Amino acid sequence: MSSPYGSQQSPFDPSQVGPTAPQPPKPPKQSHKGRNTLIVLGAATGVVIAIAIGSSANSGLDAADPTSPQTSSKPAPSKAVPVKKWVRITTLTGSADKSSDTIKLKGGKVMISYNFTGSTGVGGVYLLEEGVNPEKDGAFPDVTVSDAGKDSTIIRRDAGDYYLRIINAGFKYTVVVFEER
Asked, for residue 8, whether it belongs to a domain, the answer is: no
Q: 180 near 107, Cβ under 8 Å?
A: no
Residue 100 lies in a domain: yes
Which residue segment(s) compose the domain that 98 sits in? 86-134+148-180
**More reliable by pLDDT, 161 or 134:** 161
The pLDDT tens digits for 39-74 are 655 666 666 566 656 665 555 545 455 455 555 567
φ/ψ of 79, rounded to 5, equals -80, 135
Residue 169 lies in a domain: yes
Cα angle for residues 118, 120, 126 (degrees, 5° grid): 85
Residue 20 maps to a domain: no
Question: How many domains would you assign to the chain?
Answer: 1
Say if 12 falls within a structural domain: no
Taking the chain, what is the end-to-end CA distance rounded to the nearest angstrom? 109
Q: Looking at the domain assignment, is residue 119 inside a domain? A: yes
- Model confidence at 82, in pLDDT bands (50, 70, 90)? confident
For the chain, helix (H) and strand (E) counts, in that order, are 2, 9
Determine the residue type at 126: Y
Residue 45's Cα: distance from chain center in Å?
A: 40
pLDDT at 19 over 70: no
Q: Is residue 71 part of a domain?
A: no
**In-domain check, residue 114:** yes
- Evaluate whether 120 touches 98 at the Cβ level (below 8 Å): no
89 C-beta neighbours (distance < 10 Å), count: 20
Q: Using CB atoms within 10 Å of the CB of residue 139, give its burial: 0 to 12 exposed, 13 to 18 middle, 19+ buried.
A: middle
Q: β-strand 160-169 against 143-145: which pairing, if any?
A: unpaired
CATH of the domain at 128: 2.60.120.380
